[in-house]
Amino acid sequence: MITVKDVSMILAAASRSVTILDRISFEIPVKQTVAIVGPSGSGKSTLLGLMAGLDRPTTGSIQLDGTDITTMGESQMARFRREKVGYIFQSFHLIPTLTAIENVAVPLELSGVSRAGHRAAELLAAVGLSGRMEHYPVQLSGGEQQRVAVARAFACRPPILLADEPTGNLDSSTGAQVIELLLSLHRDSGTTLVLVTHDTRLALSMQRVLSLRDGRLESDSLPARSKHVDDFSTPSSRAERVPSSTVGS
């Protein structure tokens, strides 16, 4: 599903060049959950952005679902991303002038989906926001904004879901709810889930952990004991989380 081969990212900085990623290679099979970890500045978010086609590597190739995205033009990549990739930003990146339901409907409308508003309403209900659909981002809490972002990322049912520090701006209870939501999408829809995180406990809830250091792949491992998100969520977050059977309905 995802093949990263000899990917490097080198940026010019003043009179010298800075290597952000250095010949990274790995493969992620269909339906696997993967955490990308490492210290700040190790290249985690850069790698995730390259996998989403948000930028182009200096060298190497990236294939998604058998297609080399590094050779695509911007318009072609945008169309491909709408069909294949959902991306969740740490800072949500909701459109401030649109309501929650309008934010979720945007990718559906761009893809020509009929009854986009109806589908957006179903998704917001599935993430527990049926009563907040007409609210603007500024009227929503951080956790609510992130749930809108999750619903938007999954709107077109992409086979690949990428998330950059999805709990980075949330308290532990709300963050646990968001992670359980992402795992529910994975379980119910067979979505390949790749996320960047600084949270060791969250990384252990994934099936596989890729560790970066200084732009290089330091280790590629399977956690000795994969923890479920319940192992580090609070009682209140477990009681309030969205039932997995409703997600993606």
User: pLDDT digit string (tens) for 126-171?
Assistant: 888 999 999 999 999 998 998 899 899 988 888 999 999 988 878 8
SS3 content of the chain, % helix, strand, coil (to 5): 40, 25, 35
pLDDT recorded at residue 224: 63
d(CA 165, CA 186): 17
Task: Evaluate whether the domain defined by 2-95+153-246 bears CATH number 3.40.50.1820.
Answer: no
| Residue 192: half-sphere exposure toward Cβ, Cα within 13 Å | 18
pLDDT recorded at residue 247: 35
Q: Where are the domains of the chain?
A: 2-95+153-246
Please say whether the beta carbons of 80 and 111 come within 8 A: no
pLDDT band at 226 (very low <50, low <70, confident <90, very high): low
Q: Which ranges constitute the DSSP H helices of 53-139?
A: 74-84, 100-110, 116-126
pLDDT tens profile 168-214? 878 888 788 888 888 887 888 889 999 999 888 889 889 999 999 99
d(CA 190, CA 177): 19
**Mean local confidence (pLDDT), 57-68:** 94
d(CA 84, CA 197): 22
Strands (E), the chain: 2-13, 16-28, 33-37, 59-64, 67-68, 85-88, 160-164, 192-196, 208-213, 216-221
